[in-house]
Amino acid sequence: MKRALIIGGGIAGTVTAMALKKAGHEPVLYEAYDRTAEGIGAFLTTAVNGLDTLAALELKDLVKSLGFDTPRMTMSVGNGKRLAEFPLGGALSDGTVSQTVLRSDLYVALRDEAARRGIPAEYGKRLVDATSTGDGVRASFADGTQADGDLLIGADGLRSRVREIIDPGAPKPRYVQLLNTGGFAEGISLDAEPGVMQMVFGKRCFFCYVVHPNGQVWWFANPPRTTEPAGRVTGSADEWREELVRLLKVDRTPAVDIISATRKIQPPWPTYDFPNVPTWSRGRMIIVGDAAHATSPAAGQGASMAIEDAVTLGKCFRDIDDVHKAFATYENLRRERVEAVVAQGKRNGDGKVTGPVSRFLRDYFITKAFKNSSSTDDPNRWMWEHHLDWKTPVPKFVGAQR
């Protein structure tokens, strides 16, 4: 049994902890922030490949209880022309489809389930350093405390401190020239089927909305921003409401009505990804999730990639006793897939950055791409159909040790 120090108590960290616990190890979660996350953040869609992977840890039904079915998506351009409609990953053998859920609800449910399974968690523990102790690793926190373990896993997101410790020369996140914002509209009636993601490549701004079964409209927008913000995105809520209306009023969509029916608009935040992080592990430390391979929201796979990471790492430590060989096997199993997903997210996101010429070319090629496609064609099938079976042993791959 190995004691695993997991830095970061978000989705990647809690699912990794539960996977290692199931594999027979002793995980401990260390979260920099306070325990409370109720009501914080926007929403996300957990794709069917992520839900399928959660089934390995008996977590699929928990996540399904939090959200609503999101079985299909449509794609349109700003003039109102619908280009295609296709399954958002299709359905699993039991009928499960992709689920849209509040990020805070997912975080709280996974946190509480990890606690129910006996996984200890410490809050207010911001990692400042980690060092090798020969046959283990020691984590040092900003409050002056330390913790010793057999390995350390960085599930600490885009600005990962563990990634910096593993490789001080690691690349920085890549800004992809888009902001994110969104909200929840009340009291508006739309001619749209609940649970179908309506994605619009607008003339000035990408906009997506989905009708919740309870009648709410959940939406997000990606205003283009060429220059990376130096810190927080500036502007008041009223200013951003006006800006979104300006960007979206030129399109033949209900976007302006949806924004007008939204009481609180999420403050915008910049979009980043990682096309490649050369070094995932060193000694007894490794990174998972966004710390290793953040993908832009345009891929719709961020949470699912973290979940797949967690279960794969759990399987590696179930089947391989040597820490370095387990790390090498994990990276061999994951790197090609996650980098392909990041690349797909970048391609999807590039279509949201608009200008007069690029918009014309984008609409032309999108229209051409879907002109001869069946309504059931799904260009992202390779992402959705990935399957991880907990019972299947991992291959005995031995890579270079760092």
pLDDT per position as a tens digit, 112-133: 999 999 999 999 999 999 999 9
- What is the predicted pLDDT for the residue at 82? 86
Coil/strand/helix, residue 7: strand
Q: Using one digit for the tens of pLDDT, what is the confidence trace for 239-295?
A: 999 999 999 999 999 999 999 999 999 999 998 888 889 999 999 999 999 999 987
**Could you tell me the pLDDT band of residue 217, with boundaries at 50, 70 and 90?**
very high
* pLDDT attached to residue 362: 59
| 3-state helix vs strand vs coil in the chain, percent to 5 | 35, 25, 40
Identify whether 380 is part of a domain.
yes
**pLDDT at residue 398 greater than cutoff 70:** no
Name the β-bridge partners of 209: 198, 219
What's the CA gap between 78 and 303, in Å, rounded? 29
Q: Is residue 151 a contact partner of residue 4, using CB atoms and an 8 Å limit?
A: yes
Q: Which pLDDT band, with edges at 50, 70 and 90, does 382 fall under? A: confident
Q: How much is the pLDDT for 369?
A: 60
For residues 314 and 271, which has the higher predicted lDDT (pLDDT)? 314
Rounded Cα distance, 185 and 231, in Å: 28
Categorize the per-residue pLDDT at 402 as very low, low, confident or very high, splitting at 50, 70 and 90: very low
pLDDT band with cut points at 50, 70 and 90 for residue 394: very high
Cα 382 to its chain centre, rounded Å, is: 17
**Domain range for 51:** 3-173+273-384
List the structure tokens of 258: 């949806």
Segments of 238-385 assigned E as strands: 262-265, 269-273, 281-282, 285-287
Of the pLDDT bands very low, low, confident and very high (cuts 50, 70, 90), residue 343 is confident
DSSP-derived secondary structure letter, 353: S
In a domain, 196, yes or no: no
Residue 202 in any domain: the answer is no
Q: What is the mean pLDDT of residues 49-67?
A: 96
Q: Shortest CA distance to 176 belongs to which of 77, 268, 295, 70? A: 295
**Residue 242 belongs to some domain of the structure:** no
For residue 307, pLDDT beyond 70? yes
Percent of the chain with pLDDT over 70: 87
Predicted pLDDT at 371: 59
Q: How many domains does the chain have?
A: 1
268/223 Cα distance (integer angstroms): 9
Residue that wins the pLDDT comparison between 397 and 276: 276
Instruction: In whole angstroms, give the CA distance from residue 190 to residue 254.
Output: 8
Q: How many CB atoms lie within 10 A of CB 227?
A: 7
Task: Tell me the two tokens of residue 367.
Answer: 């229209």
**CA 189 to CA 207: how far, in whole Å?**
18
Give the per-residue pLDDT at 400.
45
Q: Reply yes or no on whether the pLDDT at 308 is more than 90.
A: yes
CB atoms within 10 A of CB 374: 9
DSSP state of 252: S
Distance of CA 46 to the CA centre of its chain: 8
- pLDDT value of position 399: 53
* Residue 105 maps to a domain: yes
Residue 322 lies in a domain: yes
Task: Over range 355-378, report the average pLDDT.
Answer: 58
Model confidence at 368, pLDDT cuts 50, 70, 90, reads: low
Residue 255 CA: distances (Å) to CA of 100, 127, 191, 259, 283 = 20, 42, 13, 6, 50
Mean pLDDT of 168-187: 93
Q: Can you read off the two tokens belonging to residue 241?
A: 């409401």
- Cα–Cα distance, 24 to 350 (Å, whole number): 43
Q: What value does the mean pLDDT take over residues 211-223?
A: 96
User: pLDDT class for 356, splitting at 50, 70, 90?
Assistant: low
Q: Is residue 339 part of a domain?
A: yes
The pLDDT score that the predictor gives to residue 145 is 98
| 208-225 CB burial, b ≥16 within 10 A, e <16 | bbbbbeeebbbbbbbbeb
Contacts of 304 (CB under 8 A, 6+ apart): 46, 47, 49, 50, 51, 53
Does 248 map to a domain? no
Name every residue whose Cβ is closer than 8 Å to that of residue 364 and which is 6 or more positions away in sequence.
none
Q: If you average pLDDT over every residue of the chain, what do you get?
A: 89
* Residue 99 pLDDT > 60: yes
| Domain CATH code at residue 22 | 3.50.50.60
Query: Regarding predicted confidence, which is higher, 82 or 381?
Result: 82
42 band by pLDDT with thresholds 50, 70 and 90: confident
